[in-house]
Amino acid sequence: MGDSQYSFSLTTFSPSGKLVQIEHALTAVGSGQTSLGIKASNGVVIATEKKLPSILVDEASVQKIQTLTPNIGVVYSGMGPDSRVLVRKSRKQAEQYYRLYKEPIPVTQLVRETATVMQEFTQSGGVRPFGVSLLVAGYDDKGPQLYQVDPSGSYFSWKASAMGKNVSNAKSFLEKRYTEEMELDDAVHTAILTLKEGFEGQISGKNIEIGVIGNDRIFKVLSPSEVEDYLQEAE
């Protein structure tokens, strides 16, 4: 990968045994816009702030939450351009799995393959780690699942998680509110309330994005008007 001149790894151990490039990548994630996910008993919701640099930006041209397969969606915190690379690779891996096994890829396997890509960029020559953490939400035969993947390539399954700027407040909020019996609608409300906690300015259907997957196993990004409806209920 890369030019032969750079066939050495840029991510190397410091004397104290840390991989500092990965730590810096996590710092980059920590300064990204807040995103979160909640696993309900009958589905998963992921949500993110969508703060654009100017009112001149056409917000309809920007979609942060992406579909990887019809039953798996993903949101990121950190560097947008890096997330596009991962989304593209993951989609391709899902298709290749389907071509080989004629079955939709299970959520854990797609997460593992994506995490492998991220790990490769911490070890290969001439490249830097990805500056994003991903929240992957899916529904397959094992039920609703939520995974977080970090720049190091490590991944964990979560009942609820948050990433980005407001992570500590968001996580405490989620810890208080989360219940195992929560249903998808409650989860969406909780997600909105969590985002509202750290939100600077007026929250609206245009500056947040919400993606849900329920028993129907179809991942869907809510339209701004659907988000507005949920926001009004949460008032």
Partner 1 sequence: MSRGSGGGYDRHITIFSPEGRLYQVEYAFKAVKAAGVTSIGVRGKDSVCVVTQKKVPDKLLDQTSVTLLFPITKYLGLLATGITADARTLVQQARNEAAEFRFRYGYEMPVDVLARWIADKSQVYTQHAYMRPLGVVAMILGIDEEKGPQLFKCDPAGHFFGHKATSAGGKEQEAINFLEKKMKNDPEFTYEETVQTAISALQSVLQEDFKASEIEVGVVRKEDQIFKVLSTDEIDEHLTAISERD
Question: C-beta of 166: minimal distance to partner 1 in Å?
Answer: 16
CB of 28 or CB of 45, closer to partner 1: 28
Binding site for partner 1 (CB under 8 A): 1-3, 5-6, 8, 10-15, 20-21, 24-31, 52-58, 60-62, 79-82, 84-85, 88, 121, 126-131
CB of 152 or CB of 194, closer to partner 1: 152
Neighbours of 130 (CB within 10 A): 30
Q: Buried b vs exposed e over 106-119: b needs ≥16 C-beta within 10 Å?
A: bbbebbebbbebbb
In whole angstroms, give the CA distance from residue 126 to residue 96: 27
CB of 133 or CB of 190, closer to partner 1: 133
In whole angstroms, give the CA distance from residue 124 to residue 139: 32
Q: How far is CA 166 from the centre of its chain?
A: 15
CB of 51 or CB of 196, closer to partner 1: 51
* DSSP reduced 3-state for 19: strand
CB of 54 or CB of 232, closer to partner 1: 54
Question: C-beta of 142: minimal distance to partner 1 in Å?
Answer: 33
Question: C-beta of 3: minimal distance to partner 1 in Å?
Answer: 4
Question: C-beta of 214: minimal distance to partner 1 in Å?
Answer: 29
CB of 40 or CB of 79, closer to partner 1: 79
Question: C-beta of 49: minimal distance to partner 1 in Å?
Answer: 16
Among residues 30, 1, 223, 12, which one has the least CA distance to residue 117?
Answer: 1
Asked if residue 46 lies in contact with residue 37, where contact means CB atoms within 8 angstroms, the answer is yes
Question: C-beta of 14: minimal distance to partner 1 in Å?
Answer: 4
Quick one: 181 exposed, middle or buried, by C-beta within 10 A (0-12, 13-18, 19+)?
A: exposed
In whole angstroms, give the CA distance from residue 217 to residue 16: 46
